[in-house]
Chains A and B, each alone.
Chain A
Amino acid sequence: MTEKNTAESANSEEKQRWHLSRRRFLIGAGLAGGGLALGYLFGVPAARLRIAESTDEGGGGFFSQSNEPLAWFEVKPDSSITLYVPKVEMGQGVHTALKQIAVEELGAPWDTVTVMQGTTSLGPQDSSGTQGSTSVSSSFTPLREAAATLREMLRLEAVVQLKTPSGSLLSQGAGFTTTGGKSITFGEIVSNKVDAWEVPEGPAPLKSVSEYETVGQSITRGDIPGKVTGEAVYGYDVKLPGMKFGAVLRPPTIEGQLKSVDATTAEQMPGVVKVVVADDFAGLVANSRIEAWAALNELQAEWDEGKLWQQEELEELVTAGGPGGVTIQKKGNANRALNGGNVVAAEYRTPLMVQTPLEAQAALADVREDGARIWASTQAQSRVQELVSKATGLDQETIEVVPTLLGGGFGRKLGDVAVEAARLSKGSGVPVHLGWNRPEELRHGFFAPLSHHRLQATLDPNGRIQAIKHELGSGDILFAFFSPLLTAVFGADIGVSRGARIEYDVPDVETVIWRRKLPVKTGSWRGLGFLPNVFAVESFMDELANEADIDPLQFRLMNLPGTERGRKMGMVLEAATNGANWGGSLPDGRAQGLACAHDFGTSVAAVAEVSVDEATGKIRVHHITSAMDCGLVINPDGAKAQMEGNAMWGVSATLTEEVRIENGRVALNNFETYPLLTLKEAPTVEAILVNTGGQEPTGVGEPPIGPVGAAIANAVFSLTGQRLRNMPLSLA
């Protein structure tokens, strides 16, 4: 057991060499022991590829695309098939879902196919990382095509080796039989191959949705058994012989800059191996974590604290308006339409929030003179490779980053801890494991930015929205990671804008974003801007429904457009409200609220059932009914698990989560200052999958979070008549 979590060599001596065929397939060369490797270049829109290529020179590789294959199969002589994937498993079940897609077209028995986590040296490279609810949707078609092509290549070769007419070949598990009684396995086919493999001219036939046997089944997840026995290995768990433990000095303030460090006392502390100070970085390496953390308190540092920001100043800073707004949606002339008349207006705010995955950031770095190996709990192994290269001066090609299982990601695990571990390893000459502790995780990462929303609209006498304007001020989300060139190309932060557009059918509509530079680090948080925006927009829809004196469900249905998207949103609204018995009787003291939204091709709706404690004013969410149309569902139980998790995230954020800045400091310590939802406050969740005919999968990991906040606020309004416009919601 103790050896299980020893980091093993990732067998990176020989990087796979690829021969590019027609139709963007790549056939691997140099596979040890015979066998066949087949990769596929995923379709990348040409414009995005060009952008990525031009920005990569400026060091903006994250979220760009590479020219390496994004999935590859290896067929071994024992007939086993390994599918290497770059996407990391952080509990979303992605490895199981991708295997389902592959097995569907391969036709191989489930147990003969193994999904392997790729590293930056082994398996496909994917500079986009694992983020944005895109792992399955972006992989679906290319993975199917690659699997079907591989199968077709094996079939054609079987025909040759068995010297049999093509029509006489029948599938038989991991191989083929003939009507004449001959048989051959995948392993025999690849072992007996003498000349070079070639990709067939035409596209391999793909199964239709009605023929699917594996896709669409709630197959149990492969990562779960190890997670209930304690055997699963995460970034915090990896170890190497001779490994020491690191700790890094943190600034006292959000703008703090290190001026000087006196290491004299810290160096004398028990267990300390080395104090590493370089430029703006100070940390140390010790024999145990406890010794490292204890010695850190003895590092005498002088800081330039910077401006001592207060919460109110940040809220002022983020307020929408003034010059610099970027219009991201415009139809008709909302300004003119909203000038006079009976304008309904409201403003909403959402706070800084922190991802705080339960496994804090962790990485193990072994930096040598000629290269480095990094094991990291990260969503972005290519970015880690790039950042470690910059921090150590090593060439990127000499650095292998091995992603481990992640104890939660939620947009947070983009690699900073691996860079710190690498600096400590380089400075001390030994492998160093660095794991953040909870106060570091709560104070020193990056946060969902504050946002401010100003909404205005007019209604016609029948309750149809005539004009609407959404003005949004926010700190950076994805722009925090983009190069200046890329931010110029996009104009407005595509993370901030998620859910900001008005999805309803309105003659005059405009959405404007103001980018506000905040003094505190901000970035990705589950769903990026989706929860904040939908909280604002869908709370406002309820205010409009109330103004029009129309039931919130009817109001939405009558204002949705007659487009495909409008139809899908209507379907999920109806599914959620039917499931929740909308308008039916409820226990005394309870009320329902609803909201809907659209994100990453997925339509979502939620109904929240709430009560309020009369003595304390505390809001309790009893039940969430969540409905989602994510197109073709790969694994229904896995999709429902994501819906349940998103419901809990939404409730937790809407009721309690808030990071405040006081005297230039993040006013958090440990979980007592940032309590998360527990089973005691958790609602029950009904997850309803609606497929209105999609033939391909769309995003699942984040969209269901969107409507939860507004559904709760709308329910509170229905119950109490009080409209709460600031998250977290408080009746006090």
Chain B
Amino acid sequence: MKLNVNGEEKTVKDNPSMPLLWTLRDELGLTGTKFGCGVGICGACTVHVDGQAVRSCITPLATVEGKEIHTIEGLARIDATGSIALHVVQQAFIDEQVPQCGWCMSGQIMTAAAFLEENPTPNSDEIVEALGQNYCRCGCYTRIFTAVEKAARESAVQQPMESAT
């Protein structure tokens, strides 16, 4: 099977029922996507499929063939100078010193990034609703909320500038 992962075509073992999570982690070595529960409750395994946040632990390979898959490793961009530019959500998570153990953070960030793409100017309730399906056992919730709010604010500032250029 062929998968499009972070903009590259990857050939993986032909196993249509294999959860995407384990192909990403154990076959492609993209271990930034984390295993939490295996049943789609905790959100640690969240990746983007055609821009939508999905839980890769309950997503069979057959359903993502031919689609654009992005993992946390593919969220940052290489900017014009060739250096890595973190996604605004990643930067906000650093600025607010959000992660403790960090295991849930790829899922939190991927969930937030897809959410802000769809709703760039969310109110507080919408942020809580959107991030309210991701577990963080260390209990970084106050900072997760603050960071997503900050990312929303900053991408709102950036977007008009980008469209102007």
Contacts and interface: CB of A to CB of B under 8 A. Distances in A.
Contacts of B158: none
Contacts of A408: 100-101, 103, 137-138
A239 B104 CA distance: 20
A360 B103 CA distance: 10
A53 interface: no
A249 interface: no
Interface string B68-81: 00011101100000
B102 A407 contact: yes
B134 A359 contact: no
Interface string B106-147: 100100000000000000000011011111111111111100
Interface of A: 1-3, 5, 90-93, 220-221, 223-234, 236-237, 239, 245, 288-290, 356-360, 405-410, 435, 437-438, 637, 641, 644-649, 652, 670-672, 676-680, 682, 684-685
Contacts of B39: 438, 670-672
A676 B135 contact: yes
Given A227-B102, A229-B76, A679 B29 contact: no
Contacts of A224: 93-94, 97-99, 102
Contacts of A677: 139, 141
A357 B35 CA distance: 12
Interface string B14-37: 000011001001111111111111
B38 interface: yes
Given A229-B76, A230-B31, A671-B39, A406 B101 contact: yes
Nearest to B105: A227
A236 B21 CA distance: 13
Given A230-B33, A679-B132, 16 more contacts: A1-B30, A91-B138, A92-B100, A224-B93, A224-B97, A229-B73, A229-B76, A229-B90, A230-B31, A230-B72, A231-B32, A289-B22, A357-B103, A437-B38, A438-B36, A648-B141
Contacts of A646: 139
Contact of A228 (B109, B141, B142): B109
B101 A671 contact: no
Nearest to B130: A679
Nearest to B141: A682
A229 B71 CA distance: 10
A1 B36 contact: no
B3 interface: no
Most B CB atoms within 10 A — which of A220, A227, A435?
Answer: A227
A407 B103 contact: yes
B53 interface: no
A93 to B, nearest CB: 8
Contact of A234 (B27, B30, B103, B133): B103
Contacts of B26: 245, 288-289
A525 to B, nearest CB: 12
Contacts of B94: 220, 224-225, 228
Interface of B: 18-19, 22, 25-39, 41-42, 44, 71-73, 75-76, 86, 90, 93-94, 97-106, 109, 128-129, 131-145
A679 B86 contact: no
B97 A685 contact: no
Contact of B132 (A290, A409, A410, A680): A680
A671 B145 contact: no
Contacts of A289: 22, 26
A679 B128 contact: yes
A90 B129 CA distance: 28
Contact of B35 (A233, A435, A670, A685): A435
Contacts of B109: 228
Contacts of A405: 101-102
Nearest to B73: A230
A438 B105 CA distance: 18
Nearest to A93: B100
Contacts of B22: 288-290
B29 A228 contact: no
A6 to B, nearest CB: 8
Contacts of B42: 358, 671, 676
Given A220-B94, A230-B72, A408-B137, A679 B145 contact: yes
B86 A229 contact: yes
Contacts of B72: 228-230
Considering the complex of A and B, which 4 residue pairs feature the smallest CB-CB distances, nearest first?
Answer: A230-B32, A648-B139, A407-B103, A227-B102
Contacts of B139: 644-649, 652, 677, 682
B106 A230 contact: yes
A3 B93 CA distance: 25
A684 B142 contact: yes
A644 B25 CA distance: 31
Contacts of B135: 358, 671, 676, 678
B45 to A, nearest CB: 11
B97 A678 contact: no
Contacts of B142: 644, 682, 684-685
Contacts of B36: 358-359, 438
Q: Which of B35, B99, B138 has most chain A Cβ within 10 Å?
A: B138
Contacts of A233: 31
A233 B32 CA distance: 8
Nearest to B17: A290
A679 B73 contact: no
12 contacts: A224-B102, A228-B93, A232-B102, A237-B25, A289-B22, A356-B137, A358-B34, A438-B36, A648-B139, A649-B139, A671-B135, A677-B141
Of the candidates B38, B132, B142, the one having the most CB atoms from chain A within 10 angstroms of its own CB is B142
A412 B129 CA distance: 31
B34 A359 contact: yes
A670 B132 contact: no
